Structures are given as C-alpha cells and as structure tokens.
Amino acid sequence: MLLLFDRHHIIAFNNYRKLYNHLENLERNKGKGKWIFARHSHQRVLSFYRYVCDQEMSVQPAEKLSSMEAGDVLEMINGNVKEPIFIPVTPDVDVIALQQQWCQNYCKEHNYALFEISKPADFKEIGGG
C-alpha cells in the first residue's frame, strides 16, 4: 500500500500503477505536459517517423525504420527537463521500476510525501489517550 501526503490530503493507493494514474490525471488537468511517462507502440513510433519524413526533414527513410526489429518505446519527461528520454522496451528494461521511479521523482519535485506501507502493523497506534 502507498500513502501520498500533500498539503491538504492523504490518499491511499494499492500499488504504483494506481498512483501513476492519479499523478497522470493531475498533470493532464494542469495541461502543461511537463511530466510524462508514456509507452508508445512500435506502430505509433513508425507512424510518427513517417510523418516526419513526409515533412522533408533530414532523417533517414521510413523504410529503414520499418525494417528494423523494434518494440515499444518509453517516453519520459521529468519536470523542466528540456529533452524527453526515449528508451526502447527490450526484455532487460524494467518498465515497472522505471514507472515507480518516475512516480517517486514526481512526488519529490511536488513536495508530496510518499510512503510504502508493507503491512497493517505499520499503523500501530502509540500513546494517545
């Protein structure tokens, strides 16, 4: 379980995927697109590449790209970083770990406290009256 503390709320999430969905919605509502973690299919990347080639920009022919054995591509943008990071998804790329790191970076940058709770005993009440 994950607990997210901001200035006004405490929100619990069962896993990082649900936390990511929440953070993505926050970012989408801002409309700025400064924080992005997206997985693009090879077909989508190929379509974009062909579009760029059709615009007569200086890139290699689309036939070269279409003949490449490629899978999905991760696109990550963290805050004010000027250039996105693109990572080809291969068997040795841990997409889940990258998404978790993106969530942790987002929370840190936005001054959210994020805690992972492993078991209910972590909530044991101490003292009080």
32-37 average pLDDT score:
81
The tokens of 113 are what?
């406290």
The residue among 47 and 77 whose pLDDT is bigger is 77
Q: Give 120: exposed, middle or buried? Use CB within 10 Å, 0-12, 13-18, 19+.
A: exposed
For 43-59, how does the pLDDT look when each residue is reduced to its tens digit (9 = 90+)? 887 777 677 667 665 55
Q: Average per-residue pLDDT in the chain?
A: 79
Q: Indicate whether this model's pTM tops 0.95.
A: no
Confidence category of residue 88, pLDDT binned at 50, 70, 90: confident
16-38 average pLDDT score:
87
Q: What pLDDT was estimated at residue 67?
A: 43
Q: What pLDDT was estimated at residue 42?
A: 80
Is the CB of residue 9 less than 8 Å from the CB of residue 96? no
The residue among 96 and 122 whose pLDDT is bigger is 96
Rg of the chain (C-alpha set): 19
Q: What pLDDT was estimated at residue 126?
A: 46
How many Cβ atoms sit within 10 Å of the Cβ of residue 102?
21
Find, among 108, 120, 98, 90, the residue nearest to 17 by Cα: 98
